[in-house]
Amino acid sequence: MTTIPVVQVAGFLWGKDRLVIPERCFGVEVKDSLLVLSDEHTEYQWATYETALSLLRWDSNKSALWELDFRIQQKAQVM
């Protein structure tokens, strides 16, 4: 978990006192290619690690992607 400055994401949507918003990253194994998006998102794409990394803006997202990739590679070595 980390925080992101609100002015760089959504402006002061929650009022002038809210300066940062929490960000949580999750990784899941997807076994069905049919995904249903919430109202917050309009599109998605499957990408390689390198492509996904190049699409990310926030260092926190890049770190989370690196951690997920590392964990996947470690799991693959055990199998």
Mean pLDDT for the stretch of residues 73-79? 88
1 band by pLDDT with thresholds 50, 70 and 90: confident
3 state DSSP class of 24: coil
Q: What is the mean pLDDT of residues 7-26?
A: 82
**Number of helical H runs and strand E runs in the chain:** 3, 2
Task: Specify the pLDDT at position 70.
Answer: 96
Which pTM was predicted?
A: 0.74
What's the confidence (pLDDT) of residue 74? 94
User: Model confidence over 22-70: pLDDT tens digits?
Assistant: 889 999 888 877 888 999 889 999 999 999 999 998 899 999 999 999 9
Burial 12-38 (b: 16+ CB within 10 A, else e): eeeeeeeeeeeeeeeeeeeeeeeeeee
